[in-house]
Amino acid sequence: MDVPKTLERATIIDHKTLAPAVRQLDLCAPNIARLAAPGQFVHLRIGSTYDPLLRRPFSIAGVEGDVVRIIYRVVGRGTVLLEILATGDKVDCLGPLGRGFDLDCRRPLLVGGGMGLAPLVYLAQHLCPRPQTVLMGGRTSRELFWADIFRDSCDRIHITTDDSSLGQPGTVVDVLPELLVSGDFDMIYTCGPRPMMEKVAAQAKNRAIPCQVSLEEHMACGVGACLSCTCAGPDGKRRKICTDGPVFWTWEVFP
């Protein structure tokens, strides 16, 4: 699929902390903002040298006018270097990349775990004012700053934590069956750890609800040339997460 994209020298207009090791980065990138759709991502070159050599992919967590927002966790060399950039600094930004979400639904359910909630933020904003529910999970209450972000877009928010410090104890997979019984959902969107998504997909399949998953993978080129981010589907076909995805129908990637 040929997705319109552009290479842009984006200006950082805001860079702030949301939680320990979690940052929100706002980039003025009007050409990318104009083209971006929920579920797509941007590929950033961090720094002015070739160290680190490869770009880093980040889900688009929102678009407001000319501004593209990403939310990321500081986990490795690339994000450590990104974290020190300040307002006014420039970032080489390629995007928007990949296949986004199918938006044909009336009453969606969004299910996310940890940083997998980032692409669902832009999706929720885009789906408004359709009634929508989000089910979010984290290890502790400190990871669930997401509730404030989703509050303006979702009419119902359900929270789970592994340590029972906020919302219902357990994981989103534990709460999902009861939620599916009580709600008249015609689409499920999910992103997070792969085992979580596989279980969400299985429950969606059991109830005959269409479901889309957003996969995450290490990427080199981001445009489908290097084949470093392929995954095998149940039909034996290998799919490129950067161009065939990152959003897939569950039947494309899960048994």
pLDDT-derived band at 49 (thresholds 50, 70, 90) equals: low
Q: Which pair of structure tokens corresponds to residue 138?
A: 């984290």
pLDDT of residue 182: 85
* Residue 214 shares a structural domain with residue 194: yes
Domain at 167, CATH number: 3.40.50.80
| CA separation for the pair 100, 102 (Å, rounded) | 7
**Same domain membership, residue 63 and residue 10:** yes
Is the pLDDT score of 23 beyond 70? yes
Q: What is the pLDDT of residue 236?
A: 83
Confidence of residue 6 (pLDDT cuts 50, 70, 90): very high
The secondary element (H helix, E strand) that includes residue 185 is none
**How does pLDDT run across 62-86, given as a tens digit for each residue?**
999 999 999 999 998 889 999 999 9
Q: What is the CATH number of the domain that holds 93?
A: 2.40.30.10
Round to whole Å and give the CA distance between 225 and 236. 20
Question: Same domain, yes or no, for 76 and 123?
Answer: no
Q: Is 16 a domain residue?
A: yes
Say yes or no to pLDDT of 16 above 90. yes
For residue 48, pLDDT over 70 is answered with: no
> Looking at the structure, do residues 121 and 87 belong to the same domain, yes or no?
no
- Residue 112's pLDDT band (boundaries 50, 70, 90)? very high
pLDDT digits (tens, 9 = 90+) for 130-166: 999 999 999 999 989 999 999 989 989 999 999 999 9
SS3 50: coil
Closest CA to 171 of 204, 136, 145: 136
How far is the C-alpha of 50 from the C-alpha of 85, rounded, in Å?
17
Peptide bond before residue 234 is cis, with ω within 30 degrees of 0: no
Above 60 in pLDDT, residue 1?
Answer: no
Same domain flag for 173 and 215: yes
Contacts of 30 (CB under 8 A, 6+ apart): 8, 66
Express as a percent the part of the chain with pLDDT over 90: 79
pLDDT tier, 2 (very low <50, low <70, confident <90, very high otherwise): low
Q: Please give the radius of gyration of the chain, using alpha carbons only, rounded to the nearest integer.
A: 18
Q: In which element (H, E) is residue 58 found?
A: strand 56-59
- H or E segment at 79? helix 77-83
Structural domain count, the chain: 2
Q: Tell me, yes or no, whether 103 lies in a domain.
A: no
Same domain as 118, residue 82: no
Residue 47 burial (C-beta neighbours within 10 Å; 0-12, 13-18, 19+): middle
Q: Are 47 and 81 in contact (CB under 8 A)?
A: yes
Residue 102 lies in a domain: no
SS3 166: coil
Give residue 255's pLDDT band: very low, low, confident or very high (50, 70, 90). Answer: confident
- The residue range of the domain holding 77 is 6-97
Average pLDDT of the segment spanning 239-245:
91
Task: Give the chain's end-to-end CA distance (angstroms, integer).
Answer: 24
Average pLDDT over residues 95-123: 96
Query: For tokens 């995450």, what's the residue?
Result: 216
Is residue 36, in this structure, part of any structural domain at all? yes
Q: Of 172, 235, 237, 245, which Cα lies nearest the Cα of 213?
A: 245
Q: What integer pLDDT is reported at residue 230 of this predicted model?
A: 87
Q: Tens of pLDDT along 169-222?
A: 999 999 999 999 988 999 999 999 999 999 999 999 999 999 999 998 777 777
Q: Are residues 129 and 239 in the same domain?
A: yes
Q: pLDDT value at position 77?
A: 87
